[in-house]
Structure 1
Amino acid sequence: MSESWQGRTFEIEVGPVAHGGHCVSRVDGRVVFVRHALPGERVLAEVTEDAGKSFCRADAVKVLSASPQRVSPPCPVAGPGLCGGCDWQHAGADAQLDLKAAVVSEQLRRLAGIEVPVRVEALPGGLLRWRTRVRFVAGEDGRAGLRAHRSHRIVPLTDCPITTTPAVRAVLPHRWGPGNEIEVTSDANDEVHVREAGEQRLGGVAVQRAAGRQWRLSAHGFWQVHPEAAETFASVVADWAEASQGGLAWDLYAGAGLFAGVLAEQVGAHGRVLAVESDRRAVVDGEANTAGTPQVRWRRGAVERVLRDSRGRSARHHERPEVVVLDPPRKGAGAAVVEAVCRAGPQRVVYVACDPAALARDLATFAARGYRLDRLRAFDAFPMTHHVECIALLRRG
């Protein structure tokens, strides 16, 4: 294609939802990824990005025929050309669950060849004031905001309706160093922790609660963003792991030790849990959080490397884990880690995933090595955004 479509406006029929917070349409044989639209609508779409490939990106700047599932966004900067933090503020609560279920189902079918009914479950608390951790950025005038979609441009904010009130009040009314990132976390005690440009300004050690106990960790380290997510996910992991008393379990990408703690309770004092995590501070927090459970042994390092190195060590490391829990970053575990897990031969694998495409790719690798998907649950842990959390149970054979 020689002529760029950037800036052009088309009247289009909006097609199905796609992974990434947009819907798919076609104009003159080209795919157009349209934001701020819903399937079945007719809209005027302005092309915002065209790299000359088989697709381009556009915003729905005017709705000509609205879906019955369309609602007015609760945030005044949730629209074309504005804040990029949310994707689905223009969709009702049930519609958001349906959109995310369709995405998970499509990714599993296309990337893993798995046909399975998907229902996305809402977490308690509603669509607003759930986000406990945010990374704002200051503009040239020192006002904090968020970047526009696929842009470095900063949209200043006076509020962020999906963010907890304590976190909003700690950042948005104040001025910050121009260009600085401001990380804010509100913990289970509603204590606020603020770090600007890497320097701690307020707090630093967060208190969280899940799985019947309290957890202390670096305020800006890994913990679920939704206040109900950690408890919910720990409960599902406990139900599906079914580790035996005296058994061996692995917790890969262990973070601050939430799932290691769940597994430690199941295997008991005579069992063992191997917790693997690459982040130094997370390991320090995890060791402190599991100090009362000596059956948990921590290894710091990239999961792939730790598992590879363990194969060449003592016979003790060759014992087969009964269950492996893994909660990788957004890119997924990847083929090397999945293959290492399969070589270890656990009876069950519980996979916690924050990206359905990465999950589907890894499930395809598991399937090629004899592990089948037994159960799947999906949760709306990120309302108003396109993100969705899935937990998959795989069994060998």
Structure 2
Amino acid sequence: MTDAPAPLVLRLGAVAHGGHVVARTDEGRVVFVRHGLPGELVRVRLTDHEPTASFWRGDVVEVLEPAAGRRDAHVWSQADAVLAAAAGTSPLGGAEFGHADLATQRELKTSVVGEQLSHLAGLEWDGHVRAVAGETPDGTGWRTRLHLDVAPDGSAGMYPHRSGELVPVTDMPLATDALRALAPWELRYEGAERVDVAAPSGSAPLLHVSLRADARQEQLDALRERLGPWGEQHGVSVTARTADHRAVGVWTGTGESVETLDLPEAGGHFSWRVSPTGFWQIHRQAPATLVRAVLDAAQFTPGDAVWDLYSGAGLFTAVAARAVGETGSVLAVEGSPVTSADAARNLADAPHVSAVRGDVARVLTGRGPRARGGQRRGHGRATSSRPGGRTGGRTGGSTPARPDVVVMDPPRAGAAKDVLAAVDHAAPRRIVYVACDPAALGRDLGRLRRRGWRVDGVEAFDLYPNTHHVEAVALLRRDG
């Protein structure tokens, strides 16, 4: 890196994937700018500016001509780039669209989804990013989970975008009232490297600390003596994971995080146990919103065979299992050891469900070690077979049935090529693809379209207000 040049005055152009808008210098250099809006005239501090780079990056530090959609005040002062620049600091990540009103945010997200689907999938999308039920007027109060990193002095904080500087957090307006009331950022965590806090729908809040490998025993003893009484006082379960990640201890409370969902159209009441560091949708309305969208797209019928790939703790698995009944079957595959163990526990009473831990591509293709531990059929029976023909049975050791419906919810990077090829080869009646990244969605839909699949619809939901992120559910069926 060279020394930072003086801030540039730029006219901002179109929105780009990743939370940026695009601008050009007088010399024609492309600059990806955060914290701005299309059409604005702004002053930009460059954060990446190598002379030989094909593009630069920067943050807005002053707005000279604001767009109509810019708010008078950012929803989270610590994420406000203009305020941060005035104070000589960097804005925290996690609310990079918080300077725009919600209508403008959704217009930007709609544009990004449409552009990615057009460019990568050859699909012209006429939909729009929709608000979810019960959203607050300013898009705050939705996060039910929060991750904080811990500095050597025990203070909890977050990182600015593309920065290694940990900044102490003083508030988190995107969090639910239950999380904000706990104010976990005000506690000291000497001896810990990370803190995860959850305010689940079906149990008391939970605070989980991951301990440092170099922590002294007296630090850990003091941390437990401090957090245990705090948890009892606030009705919070407190757990801790050793530095080698091999053991989790309960310092106070039940040590459990339970999520619940009541949806008559999905079969009534559901419950999931989620480990402190396991995966669960973070928006308070995300499970209900996505389950409804998946049910509408999948059109499960009794007796169907279902593959739930990248299944997490079993959100869609449980709903599919109830929809297809015990005359059907569900194969749930998850690579994360923690989250796969959650799924196995959550689905242990469903005799027609197989929960398999392993790399999804290896499980479906049979190449290399396909699973490690955690392979469970209902009631804990193990399965070790590769998905095969539709005539396969569903008892331990037999070949699971080929799917009538495939549901996949891959991580931000999208599904592996081998996974898409295996799903295509299995020839289900429907594919339901749940995506948290428009670029990965566009790429994977494009690959499936080239294999003869037709995209029958894409719904997009604003499950991350005040950020650039968006969730989408796509339905695919075979052409012809």
TM-score range, shorter chain: over 0.9
In the TM superposition, what is the alpha-carbon distance from 1:77 to its structure 2 partner?
1.1
Matching of residue 192 in structure 1 with residue 184 in structure 2: no
Q: How does 1:86-97 map to 2 (within 5 A)?
A: 86-97=95-106
Are the equivalent residues in 2 in contact too, given 1:242–1:266 (CA < 8 A)? Answer: no
Which residue of the partner structure matches residue 383 of structure 1? 465
Which residue of the partner structure matches residue 46 of structure 1? 45
Are the equivalent residues in 1 in contact too, given 2:279–2:339 (CA < 8 A)? Answer: yes
Whole-Å separation in 2 of the counterparts to 1:329 and 1:338: 14
- Counterpart pick for 1:118 among 127, 136, 151: 127
In the TM superposition, what is the alpha-carbon distance from 1:274 to its structure 2 partner?
1.1
Whole-Å separation in 1 of the counterparts to 2:387 and 2:107: 47
Matching of residue 252 in structure 1 with residue 338 in structure 2: no
Are the equivalent residues in 2 in contact too, given 1:85–1:147 (CA < 8 A)? Answer: no
- Counterpart pick for 2:410 among 324, 328, 335: 328
Query: Aligned partner of 1:45: which letter?
Result: V
Whole-Å separation in 1 of the counterparts to 2:66 and 2:141: 27
Which residue of the partner structure matches residue 31 of structure 2? 32
Tell me: CA distance 1:141–1:311, structure 2 relative to 1, closer, same or farther (3 Å).
closer
Whole-Å separation in 2 of the counterparts to 1:21 and 1:290: 37
Q: How does 1:98-117 map to 2 (within 5 A)?
A: 98-117=107-126
CA distances 1:88-143 after superposition (whole Å, capped 9, x unpaired) = 11000111111111111111111111111131111223211211111112235432
Matching of residue 284 in structure 1 with residue 341 in structure 2: yes
- Counterpart pick for 1:368 among 450, 454, 479: 450
Which residue of the partner structure matches residue 75 of structure 1? 76
Query: Aligned partner of 2:276: which letter?
Result: A
In the TM superposition, what is the alpha-carbon distance from 1:352 to its structure 2 partner?
0.5
Which residue of the partner structure matches residue 476 of structure 2? 394
Are the equivalent residues in 1 in contact too, given 2:24–2:31 (CA < 8 A)? Answer: yes
Which residue of the partner structure matches residue 236 of structure 1? 293
Query: Aligned partner of 1:333: which letter?
Result: A
CA distances 1:129-159 after superposition (whole Å, capped 9, x unpaired) = 2111111122354321211111011121221
Are the equivalent residues in 1 in contact too, given 2:34–2:59 (CA < 8 A)? Answer: yes
CA distances 1:334-381 after superposition (whole Å, capped 9, x unpaired) = 211111100000111000111111111111110111111101111111
Which residue of the partner structure matches residue 166 of structure 1? 178
In the TM superposition, what is the alpha-carbon distance from 1:189 to its structure 2 partner?
4.1
Query: Aligned partner of 2:436: which letter?
Result: C
Are the equivalent residues in 1 in contact too, given 2:93–2:161 (CA < 8 A)? Answer: yes
Which residue of the partner structure matches residue 176 of structure 1? 189
- Runs of 5+ in structure 1 lacking a partner? none
Which residue of the partner structure matches residue 219 of structure 2? none
In the TM superposition, what is the alpha-carbon distance from 1:214 to its structure 2 partner?
2.0
CA distances 1:34-64 after superposition (whole Å, capped 9, x unpaired) = 1111001011112111233110011111111
Tell me: CA distance 1:202–1:106, structure 2 relative to 1, closer, same or farther (3 Å).
farther
Q: Give TM-score, length-normalised by structure 2.
A: 0.78
Whole-Å separation in 1 of the counterparts to 2:281 and 2:127: 22
Count how many residue pairs are aligned between Structure 1 and Structure 2. Answer: 395
Which residue of the partner structure matches residue 16 of structure 1? 14
Are the equivalent residues in 2 in contact too, given 1:142–1:177 (CA < 8 A)? Answer: yes
Are the equivalent residues in 2 in contact too, given 1:185–1:194 (CA < 8 A)? Answer: yes
Matching of residue 145 in structure 1 with residue 164 in structure 2: no
Are the equivalent residues in 2 in contact too, given 1:39–1:67 (CA < 8 A)? Answer: yes
Whole-Å separation in 1 of the counterparts to 2:75 and 2:310: 36
CA distances 1:213-271 after superposition (whole Å, capped 9, x unpaired) = 22222132111000110111111111111122112111111111111111112211211
Are the equivalent residues in 2 in contact too, given 1:252–1:324 (CA < 8 A)? Answer: yes
Query: Aligned partner of 1:272: which letter?
Result: S
Q: Secondary structure at the match of 1:100?
A: helix
Which residue of the partner structure matches residue 382 of structure 2? none
Whole-Å separation in 1 of the counterparts to 2:307 and 2:454: 19
Q: Quick one: percent identity of the two aligned structures?
A: 42
Tell me: CA distance 1:202–1:236, structure 2 relative to 1, closer, same or farther (3 Å).
farther
Q: Give TM-score, length-normalised by structure 1.
A: 0.94
Whole-Å separation in 2 of the counterparts to 1:319 and 1:313: 6
Which residue of the partner structure matches residue 130 of structure 1? 142
Whole-Å separation in 2 of the counterparts to 1:246 and 1:73: 51
Whole-Å separation in 1 of the counterparts to 2:152 and 2:343: 39
The structure with more radius of gyration: 2
Query: Aligned partner of 1:231: which letter?
Result: A
User: Larger deviation: 375-384 or 318-327?
Assistant: 318-327
Q: Secondary structure at the match of 2:39?
A: coil
In the TM superposition, what is the alpha-carbon distance from 1:190 to its structure 2 partner?
6.3
